[in-house]
C-alpha cells in the first residue's frame, strides 16, 4: 500500500530510505535544506558530490543523483536541482519541477528505496511560489506512485506551518 503524508520539521532527522536534497547544480552544499543536509550528514556527502561533478559536470535542473547519507538516519541522499522561478516561464517551471520529483523517485526505486522524504523544492531562494510548487509536487508524486508503485511511502517535509498547511490540503483532498 502506498502512502503520501506531510510533516513539519527537519528532514535531516527522518529515518527513511532516502531523503531528497534541494541541491544546487554544483552539488556543493549551501543554504536552506541543502546546507542542513550537508552539515548533518558530514563530509562523505560533499566528497561524493564533488566526485560526481568531476566525472559528470554540473547537475542539470530537473535531474537527480544519489550519495550515501553519512551521519543522517536516512539510508541515502538523492540530490536534485529545482528550477529558479525567475529563469523560466510557467510551463517550463512546472516541467522542470515535476522532473525533480519523477527523477528522484525513479532513482529511489532503482536503489531499492521504499520510503522517501521530500523537502519543498525550489520554494526558498529559488523563488517558486509555494502553492504552485506544492500542486506540482503532490500531483507528480501521486501520478508516479499510481503508475509505478515501487515506493511505499513519500513524506513531504515542510519547513514551516504555511507550507505544511498547503501540502496537507492537497494530500488530503
Residue 169 annotated as catalytic: no
Would you mind telling me the total number of residues written for the chain in this entry?
A: 173
Catalytic-role residue among 34, 87, 152, 169: 34
C-alpha dist (Å) from residue 36 to 31, 109, 128, 145: 7, 24, 20, 27
* Distance (Å, whole) CA 43 – CA 82: 23
* Distance (Å, whole) CA 87 – CA 100: 16
**Residue 64, beta-bridge partner list:** 80
Q: Which of 94, 57, 97, 68 is nearest to 80 (CA)?
A: 97
**Catalytically annotated residues:** 34
Amino acid at each position: 500500500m502506498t502512502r503520501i503524508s506531510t510533516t513539519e520539521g527537519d528532514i535531516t532527522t527522518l529515518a527513511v530510505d532516502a531523503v531528497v536534497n534541494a541541491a544546487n547544480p554544483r552539488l556543493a552544499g549551501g543554504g536552506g535544506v541543502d546546507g542542513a543536509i550537508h552539515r548533518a550528514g558530514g563530509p562523505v556527502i560533499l566528497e561524493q558530490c564533488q566526485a560526481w561533478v568531476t566525472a559528470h559536470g554540473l547537475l542539470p535542473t530537473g535531474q537527480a543523483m544519489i550519495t550515501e547519507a553519512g551521519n543522517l538516519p536516512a539510508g541515502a541522499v538523492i540530490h536534485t536541482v529545482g528550477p529558479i522561478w525567475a529563469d523560466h516561464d510557467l510551463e517550463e517551471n512546472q516541467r522542470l519541477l515535476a522532473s525533480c520529483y519523477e527523477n528522484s523517485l525513479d532513482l529511489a526505486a532503482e536503489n531499492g528505496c521504499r520510503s522517501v522524504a521530500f523537502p519543498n523544492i525550489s520554494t526558498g531562494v529559488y523563488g517558486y511560489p509555494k502553492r504552485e510548487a506544492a500542486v506540482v509536487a503532490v500531483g507528480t508524486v501521486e501520478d508516479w506512485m499510481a503508475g509505478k508503485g515501487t515506493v511505499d511511502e513519500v513524506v513531504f517535509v515542510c519547513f514551516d506551518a504555511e507550507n505544511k498547511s498547503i501540502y496537507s490540503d492537497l494530500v488530503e483532498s
